[in-house]
Structure 1
Amino acid sequence: MIMTFEGARVVLGDEIVETSVTVADGQIVEVGGKPQGDVIDARGQMLAPALIDVHGDAFERQLMPRPGVYFPLETAVLDTDRQLATNGIATAYHAITLSWEPGLRDVARGRELMEAMLALTPRLTVENRVQLRWETFAFEALETMEWALGTDLKPSVAFNDHTSMTMRAYDVAIQDRAFELGPDFTIAALDDDRMKARTAKKAQRAGISDDDYRALLGKVWELRSEVPKVIGQVAEMGRKAAAPMLSHDDTRAETRAFFRELGSNVSEFPMVLDAAEAARNAGDLIIFGAPNATRGGSHIGSLGAGDMVEAGLCDALASDYFYPAMLAAVARLDHERRADRARLWSLVSSGPARAMGLTDRGEIAPGKRADLVLVDWPAGHAPAITGTWVSGRCAYRGTPRG
């Protein structure tokens, strides 16, 4: 099938120009030139590379829309897929947390979700991949991770340590904590009333009582001395599978250096400037949350994504917990003139592609995969996706009433 988008303002690298783009057999074959095949009238709209989401966990709301209320996996996966398409996301890495917690983030539940995704692949409209969001104290996850790394889900691996974050001393802010595996990390007492406040929401998510959650946390914490060795085992699995590897919520240059040594060259949501600058100085790629940029700052007081974009310390924006945030973030940063529009669009397309090693997509150029979006973006108003194509196949088409 051959088709040509005609008359759009096209995002081409570092510029936006009015031209035509022709697609054949799932690839971009020509930029400019005469229309061929089916012609799509794109006048008045912007044609851009489709969005690539490197970290999104909004699917959890489809799985459990209310605490303790679970929906069927097939229903959740199908609805999530459609949400991705309508938001212009052609490639999504679902951040499936593999934790020692029971409930929503239980390892067995995560595997069931991945199995459902694989089974539903022929019915999905966009490319659904997986980020193995591994909690480093969840040793029981290794078998599932090894299995997943050998599947068509083509996972990335993210090293998360919310266990140590929860156990940090009470007088230490999240952003000020020392390297979790280092000797300077100070811990809190489990029997303190402040721990009850810290773990209440986690217990609710896990579906167990506050007391049971803290008892389980204490038991898991006893594994701390073994964590570095197991991290090394997971990193070896990731390297063997040539999987992109990310460290999450870095607060120290030392943290970034530790994971870089293991083969992770992506810093996901660094919390302080020292960690972000250490990543940039070493040539690592840096990801921030699109909701952070959309809202004008971090909801937990970490680095502002907009400031990091302006400072050249952000390569990609991820949906994090809200799929529409990616497009909304580009719109806000464009309004604030943090960078030119083409550069901002790279944060949701070519930047994420580089972070995940996806050399076949993320830009509009001959030979690249035809992952494209049409964007209706009137001056002074919010943009909206009117069409999403994945490998040249239409995944979503919305026609406004006009």
Structure 2
Amino acid sequence: MNNHLLTNAQIVTPACHFTGSIEIADGVIAAIHKNRTFKRGIDLKGAWLIPGCVDIHSDWLESELRPRSGASFPLPLALHFLDVRAATCGITTVFNTIRFCDEESESRTFEQAICMARQIDEVRHGMLLRHFLQARIGPHTDTLVGRLADLQALQSLRMVVFNDNIPGERQYSLNQRIEMGMRELGTSWEETRDRLLAQIQEARELNHRMVIYDAFKDKCAFGSHHDTTVAQIVEAGSSRSFLAEMPTTLAAARKAKEAGMWVSMDAPNYFRGRSHSGSLAAVDAMEEDLVDILCSDYHFPTILGSVVRMIDEGMAPNKAVNMVTLNPARLLRLDHEIGSITVGCKADLVAFRSERAFASVNSVWVDGVRKFTADYTGDVTSLGVHPDRSVVSKPDNAYPWTSY
């Protein structure tokens, strides 16, 4: 029986926080004891206890697959260490992003992207955490239309985000795209410009947003990526997107909130105080209360690190925690199962301490099973781990890579 008592913790619920205890029965939160601790059970010694972080957009897989230009590693290896790293950062639900488009500059073909998604689909139940897929789909290509059935068959696909691939219209200007293309393709400025102009003309003649929506409306949450203008937010809303993912301007973020959309920003942006690409700073959007969700984007540690920083800067702990737990769960319509410390929800939990303005994770539970634990007084207490504290305990059936 998967039954535990976690006691002497700073518990954060959707509405408040308090010192108390939690009972877990059969992997579900069975009781919450406010202002009460016990001599029995697992003593968390005053650590924060929050729901596991729900990360709706992670590009970390790309970092594991290609940590250096020209250096590639197998998908099984990349997935294993992605899973491990996410656990040590307090994330219990991960949406791995895969981009589906047929641009020349992409590192993989459409077929290779589908193959990678299928492999993740096959092994995800043997991993430490909950793994899902977010498909970043360029709506301005005919390639996708003939492959919709392949994407529909992916059990883990729960998010579709329109990733507009018309060069020069979103995060990067046309000149920036030309410079990027020159580096990626090794072509001259004129040749790269001509290629991009041809892509722009072709893309503007195609828009399969509603075809994509009809294909996935019964299984996926929809969003729009890197909206820059008010018109782009209006287009996103007309194609049934209810998430503005990392808008690049305040105007776009304001329009999204006005339209009743969720707005997500990347945690590295907030933690660093600015965007790495010069786009909208998350702190500026948060000053106007425009941000509902923070995701890890390209850096797992900052998702929980941002919670620590928000609390340190005066935000109520429940509001800060909700941005990486309950709000993304609500977006995904999974809040009846995950995203909050509520009786009846799955016991996906994280215990951590705030140290030097970031989060030191002590323990992570998924379905009430402890997947990661580290004693930061000097001992690592996890199964089969290395003494460098890159630690994760795993069930006997984890990582069935022999099928590859």
TM-score bracket for this pair, using the shorter chain length: 0.7 to 0.9
Kindly tell me: are residues 400 and 265 of structure 1, through their superposed partners in 2, closer, same or farther at Cα, counting changes over 3 Å? same
Kindly tell me: are residues 39 and 209 of structure 1, through their superposed partners in 2, closer, same or farther at Cα, counting changes over 3 Å? same
CA-CA distance at 1:299 after TM superposition: 2.3
Q: Write the distance in 2 (CA, Å) between the matches of 1:385 and 1:104.
A: 34
Conservation of the 8 A alpha-carbon contact between 2:178 and 2:196: no
Residue 66, structure 1, aligned to residue 42, structure 2: no
Alignment of 1:153-192 (within 5 A): 153-165=156-168, 174=171
- Runs of at least 5 residues in structure 2 that lack an aligned partner in the other structure: 379-404
**Corresponding residue of 1:392:** 368
Conservation of the 8 A alpha-carbon contact between 1:294 and 1:328: yes
Amino-acid identity (%): 26
Kindly tell me: are residues 381 and 302 of structure 1, through their superposed partners in 2, closer, same or farther at Cα, counting changes over 3 Å? closer
Counterpart of 2:332, as a letter, is M
* Cα deviation code 1:311-354 (max 9, x no counterpart): 211100010111111012222233333x2222111111111112
The two structures have a TM-score, normalised by structure 2, of 0.85
* Cα deviation code 1:244-273 (max 9, x no counterpart): 000111122221121212211111111222
By percentage of residues, which structure has more helix? 1
Alignment of 1:116-265 (within 5 A): 116-165=119-168, 174=171, 196-201=178-183, 203=184, 208-210=185-187, 217-228=196-207, 230-239=208-217, 241-265=218-242
Counterpart of 1:200, as a letter, is M
Q: Write the distance in 2 (CA, Å) between the matches of 1:5 and 1:286.
A: 34
Conservation of the 8 A alpha-carbon contact between 2:117 and 2:154: no
CA-CA distance at 1:209 after TM superposition: 3.3
Kindly tell me: are residues 196 and 311 of structure 1, through their superposed partners in 2, closer, same or farther at Cα, counting changes over 3 Å? closer
Kindly tell me: are residues 314 and 196 of structure 1, through their superposed partners in 2, closer, same or farther at Cα, counting changes over 3 Å? closer
Task: Report the aligned-residue RMSD.
Answer: 2.6
Kindly tell me: are residues 39 and 152 of structure 1, through their superposed partners in 2, closer, same or farther at Cα, counting changes over 3 Å? farther
Bigger shift: residues 78-87 or 301-310 = 301-310
Bigger shift: residues 145-154 or 389-398 = 145-154
Residue 342, structure 1, aligned to residue 282, structure 2: no
What is the DSSP-based 3-state SS (H/G/I as helix, E as strand, rest coil) of the residue aligned with 1:155?
strand
Q: Write the distance in 1 (CA, Å) between the matches of 2:212 and 2:167.
A: 18
Q: Write the distance in 2 (CA, Å) between the matches of 1:46 and 1:31.
A: 15
Conservation of the 8 A alpha-carbon contact between 2:9 and 2:45: yes
Count of residues in correspondence between the two structures: 372
Q: Write the distance in 2 (CA, Å) between the matches of 1:79 and 1:37.
A: 37
Q: Write the distance in 2 (CA, Å) between the matches of 1:336 and 1:132.
A: 34
CA-CA distance at 1:65 after TM superposition: 1.7
Conservation of the 8 A alpha-carbon contact between 1:3 and 1:36: no
What is the DSSP-based 3-state SS (H/G/I as helix, E as strand, rest coil) of the residue aligned with 1:298?
coil
Counterpart of 2:71, as a letter, is V
The two structures have a TM-score, normalised by structure 1, of 0.85
Residue 29, structure 1, aligned to residue 30, structure 2: yes
Counterpart of 1:39, as a letter, is G
Kindly tell me: are residues 45 and 110 of structure 1, through their superposed partners in 2, closer, same or farther at Cα, counting changes over 3 Å? same
What is the DSSP-based 3-state SS (H/G/I as helix, E as strand, rest coil) of the residue aligned with 2:41?
strand
Q: Write the distance in 2 (CA, Å) between the matches of 1:319 and 1:40.
A: 29
Conservation of the 8 A alpha-carbon contact between 2:223 and 2:244: yes
Kindly tell me: are residues 215 and 39 of structure 1, through their superposed partners in 2, closer, same or farther at Cα, counting changes over 3 Å? farther
